[in-house]
Amino acid sequence: MDLNRVKQILSSPADIEVKYHNISVWIDEVNEDGRTATVHMRGPLKETNVVEIGELTEAE
């Protein structure tokens, strides 16, 4: 995924499913470096991780 698409997803009112290594995640924010984003897994766990934007994929 690229930075522009991540920003579109963040600003969208729609529930757009994003995956990180086949795990469904919410994007919390784009980090200042513009290459990483803070995400957390969908579901009861609220563990956050910083991941490379290029490793995120939009579910089909």
Three-class secondary structure assignment of 1-27: CCHHHHHHHHHCCCCCCEEECCEEEEE
Is residue 46's pLDDT more than 80?
A: no
Q: Per-residue confidence at 44, pLDDT binned at 50, 70, 90?
A: confident
Task: Output the domain CATH number for residue 51.
Answer: 2.30.30
Considering its fold, how many domains does the chain have in total? 1
For residue 7, the enclosing domain spans 3-58
In the prediction, which pLDDT does 8 show? 97
**Average pLDDT score over residue span 11-25:** 95
pTM of the model: 0.88
Instruction: State how far the Cα of 12 lies from the Cα of 37, in Å rounded to an integer.
Output: 16
Which whole-number Å values give the CA distances from 14 to 9, 33, 50, in the listed order?
8, 26, 23
Is residue 60's pLDDT more than 90?
A: no
Which residue in this structure is represented by tokens 């995400």?
Answer: 39
Q: Measure CA of the first residue to CA of the last residue in the chain; give whole Å.
A: 13
